[in-house]
Amino acid sequence: MIRIGTRASALATTQSTWVGEQLRAAHGIDFELVEIATFGDRSDAPLAQIGGTGVFVAAVREALQAGTVDIAVHSLKDLPTMPAPGLLLGAVPRREDPRDVLIARDGLTLGELPRGARVGTGSPRRVSQLNALGLGIEIAELRGNVDTRIRKVTSGELDAIVLARAGLLRLGRADEATEVLDPIQMLPAPGQGALACECRVDDDATARLLGVLDDPDTRVAVTAERTLLNTLEAGCSAPVGALADVVWGDDGDELWLRAVVGDISGAPTIRRSASGAPGDAAALGRRLAEELLSDGADRIMGSVTAP
């Protein structure tokens, strides 16, 4: 029996159940979910105010370190870029669609929303990129699980919300989105759409079990994205978007990385991209981050306040 530590939300338990089912199919072992309340779940404050980094994973990691669970499953975008003592990132399964989506009243798209429309999001990254589009919309602070957020639209309190498409796909609710946002408009958070499966570094047996779930292309992509985030010294609530893809180039596989750093107001915004070999994912992330920093990304991030 493998004990899987997870947050208690519908999305988190769905993700962790999927991991357990994959392990059962591959190894014939059973699993149980151990639900753990995190600080981010207990607090209603905006993420930028409570620190953002690690607030959804710290308690689950502590349970893993203490031996209460054997595996911890997280949304990778919530995971701090620095490793936790005694823990190993045993698997990064194949990534789900990393893009953001809009859920709007009356089936509207982002470009169809009227000026002054209220759009909900708790992410400074999304606020920055929405404001950079110059659509004249009003941003409203948004927290809560997927159901809570969607009800803000169906009740008429908000005109639209922005969510990660991966979560809706995993919950079987992707058809509720009224538009899938192109990364040209809205780059996702580093690691968005990917899962992180952690185990203890001294638990070789569990590490071997997790190995079958690891997807090399996904691990390479998120390594570039998260190295960029780490080099920028920015947390998961910072106004930083990044997306890496392994693509076929003239000389074989290439890794393409795009990134954005923007002020909450939408200006200034810095967008840059770079490419390299998949085996140099970390170096690529550092190089692009250093380019962003030389263009003033540190000054932009230093001026950010919560929406």
Residues with catalytic annotation? Answer: 78
CA pair distance 276, 280, nearest whole angstrom: 7
The phi and psi torsions of 263 (rounded to 5 degrees) equal -70, 150
CA pair distance 242, 188, nearest whole angstrom: 6
SS3 160: strand
> Using a CB cutoff of 8 Å and minimum separation of 24, what contacts does 80-88 make?
80/53, 80/54, 80/235, 80/236, 81/226, 81/227, 81/229, 81/230, 82/230, 84/198, 86/200, 86/201, 86/202, 87/61, 87/198, 87/199, 87/200, 87/201, 88/198, 88/199, 88/200, 88/201, 88/207
Structure tokens given for 304: 């950010």
Kind and range of the H or E run holding 166: helix 165-170
CA pair distance 243, 88, nearest whole angstrom: 23
Given CA atoms 161, 223, 236, 271 in this order, what sign does their dihedral have? negative
Of 100, 95, 159, which Cα lies nearest the Cα of 128? 100
Cα–Cα distances in angstroms (integers) from residue 163 to residues 119, 134, 179, in the given order: 11, 20, 11
SS3 114: coil
Given CA atoms 151, 154, 156, 160 in this order, what sign does their dihedral have? positive
